[in-house]
Structure 1
Amino acid sequence: MPSLDSIITFSTLAALVQFGIIISVILRVMLTRHPPGSAFAWILITTLLPYFGFILYLLFGERPIGQLRATRFRKHLAHLKELSRQKLTPTGPLPRHLARHRTLIHLATRMGNLPVTSGTEIRLLSSSDDTFAAIISDIEAACSSIDMEFYIWHPGGEADKVAASLLKAHERGVRVRILVDDFGSRAFLKSDTCRAFRNAGIEVAKAMPMRLLHFFGLQRVDLRLHRKTIIIDNEIGYTGSLNMIDPHTYDAARTVGPWVDAMVRLTGPAVQSLRATFLIDWAIQPDGDPSDLERVHSVPPIPQLGTATIVTVPSGPYGQKDPNLYLLLDTINAARFNITITTPYFVPNEGLATALLSAAYRGVKIRLIVPANADSKAVTWAARRYFDDMLSAGVEVLLYNGGLLHTKSISVDDEYAVFGTVNFDNRSIHLNFEMMLLIFDACFIHDLKKLHDSYAEQCSRLDPETWYRRPVSERLKEGACYLISPLL
Structure 2
Amino acid sequence: MTTFYKCINWILLLGYWLLIAIITLRILIKRRAVNSAMAWLLIIYILPLLGIIAYLSFGELYLGKRRVERARNMWPYTNKWLKNFNQYNQIYTTKHSNVAQSLFDLCRYRQGIPGVKGNQLQLITDTNSVIRTLINDIQLARHNIEMLFYIWQPGGLADEVAESLMTAARKGVHCRLMLDSAGSITFFRSPWVDKMRRAGIHIVEALQVNLLRMFFRRMDLRQHRKVVIIDNCIAYTGSMNLIDPRFFKKNVGIGQWIDLMVRMKGPVATTIGTIYACDWELETGQRILPAPLDNNIINLKQENNHTIQVIASGPGFSEEIIHSALLTAIYSAREQLIMTTPYFVPSDDLLYAICIAAQRGVEVNIILPLYNDSILVDWASRAFFSELLEAGVKIYQFENGLLHTKSVLVDKQLSLVGTVNLDMRSLWLNFEITLVVDGSDFGNELACIQNNYISNSRLLDITYWENRAWWKRVIERLSYFFSPFL
2:407 alignment partner, SS class:
strand
1:236 alignment partner, one of 234, 237, 247: 234
Per-residue deviation, residues 412-442 of structure 1 (Å, max 9, x unmatched)? 1011100100000000001100000110123
Q: Which amino acid aligns with 2:90?
A: P
Q: Is residue 2:95 matched to residue 1:79?
A: no
Distance 1:273 1:247 in 2: 30
Relative to structure 1, the CA distance from residue 476 to residue 11 in structure 2 (aligned partners, 3 Å threshold; closer, same or farther) is: same
Query: Alpha-carbon deviation of 1:18?
Result: 1.5
Q: Which residue in 1 is equivalent to 2:104?
A: 105
- SS at 1:284 equivalent: helix
* Matched residue, 1:27: 25
Give the Cα–Cα distance (whole angstroms) in 2 for the partners of residues 69 and 311 of structure 1.
26
Q: 1:246 to 1:151 in 2, by over 3 A?
A: same
Match of 2:34, as an amino acid? P
Of 102-111 and 332-341, the range deviating more from structure 2? 102-111
Whether the 8 Å contact between 1:72 and 1:290 is mirrored in structure 2 is no
1:216-255 → structure 2 map (5 Å cutoff)? 218-252=216-250, 254-255=252-253
- Equivalent residue, structure 2, for 1:291: 287
Q: CA deviation at 1:145?
A: 0.7
Q: 1:413 aligns with which of 395, 411, 420?
A: 411
Q: Which moved more, 1:424-433 or 1:74-83?
A: 74-83
Q: Deviations over 1:171-220 (max 9, x none)?
A: 1111111000000000001111112112222110011111334377x110
User: Would the alpha carbon gap of residues 239 and 133 (structure 1) be closer, same or farther in structure 2, given more than 3 Å must change?
Assistant: same
Q: Does 2:433 correspond to 1:450?
A: no
Q: Tell whether 2:63 aligns with 1:65.
A: yes
Query: Aligned residue for 1:158?
Result: 157
Structure 2 counterpart SS, 1:101: helix
Give the CA deviation at 1:24: 2.1
Provide closer, same or farther for how the CA distance between residues 154 and 16 of structure 1 changes in structure 2, counting only shifts above 3 A: same
SS in 1 for 2:236: strand
Deviates most, 196-205 or 471-480: 471-480
Where structure 2 has 5 or more consecutive residues not aligned to the other structure, the ranges are none
Secondary structure of 2:378's match?
A: helix
Partners in 2 of 1:139 and 1:117 — Cα distance?
Answer: 24
Which deviates further from its counterpart, 296-305 or 372-381? Answer: 296-305
The one-letter amino acid of 2:233's match is E
The secondary structure found in structure 2 opposite 1:55 is helix
Q: Tell me what 2:90 maps to.
A: 90
Q: Is 1:314 aligned with 2:309?
A: no
Q: 1:127 maps to which residue?
A: 126
| Of 464-473 and 106-115, the range deviating more from structure 2 | 106-115
In structure 2, do the counterparts of structure 1 residues 100 and 458 end up closer, same or farther at CA, with 3 Å as the change threshold? closer
3-state secondary structure, aligned to 2:90: coil
Distance 1:319 1:61, change over 3 A: farther
Q: C-alpha offsets along residues 251-307 of structure 1, whole Å, 9 cap, x if unaligned?
A: 25651100000100011111111101111111111xx24232xx3585555424341
CA distance in 2, matches of 1:28, 1:137: 52
Which position in structure 2 is the counterpart of 1:303? 298
Alignment check: 8 A CA contact 2:407 2:415 kept? yes
Amino acid at match of 2:204: A
Q: Displacement, 1:44?
A: 4.5
d(CA) in 2 for partners of 1:379 and 1:39?
Answer: 19
In structure 1, the residue corresponding to 2:479 is in which secondary structure? helix
Counterpart CA distance in 2 for 1:165 and 1:144 is 15
Q: Give the letter aligned to residue 326 of structure 1.
A: S
Match for residue 377 of structure 2? 379
Q: Cα distance, 1:45 vs. partner? A: 4.0
Q: Distance in 2 between matches of 1:368 and 1:92?
A: 33
Which deviates more from structure 2 when the two are superposed, residues 162-171 or residues 46-55?
Answer: 46-55
Q: 1:388 to 1:325 in 2, by over 3 A?
A: same
Partner of residue 326, structure 1: 324
Alignment counterpart, residue 440 of structure 1, candidates 438, 442, 454: 438
Residue identity matched to 2:207: M
CA distance in 2 between partners of 1:71 and 1:134 (Å): 39
Q: How does 1:334-345 map to 2 (within 5 A)?
A: 334-345=332-343
Change (3 A) 1:74 1:114: farther
Matching of residue 364 in structure 1 with residue 359 in structure 2 = no
- Asked if 2 retains the 8 angstrom alpha-carbon contact of 1:120 and 1:304, the reply is no
Note if contact 1:158-1:246 (Cα within 8 Å) is conserved in structure 2: yes
Cα distance, 1:138 vs structure 2: 0.2
In the superposition, relative to structure 1, how do residues 102 and 260 fare at CA in structure 2: closer, same or farther (>3 Å)?
same
CA contact (8 A) 2:398 2:456 kept: yes
Shift of 1:51: 4.0
**Which residue matches 2:402?**
404
Deviates more, 1:257-266 or 1:461-470: 461-470
Identical residues among aligned pairs (%): 35
Aligned residues: 480
Quote the offset at 1:102 in angstroms. 2.7
Q: Contact 1:18 / 1:50 at 8 angstroms: preserved in 2?
A: no
Instruction: Using the TM superposition, give the Cα deviation of residue 94 of structure 1 relative to its aligned residue in structure 2, in angstroms.
Output: 3.4
Q: 1:201 is matched with which residue?
A: 200
Conserved in 2, the CA contact under 8 Å of 1:370 and 1:399? yes
- Once residues 320 and 456 of structure 1 are traced to their aligned partners in structure 2, the CA distance between those partners, rounded to angstroms, is 34
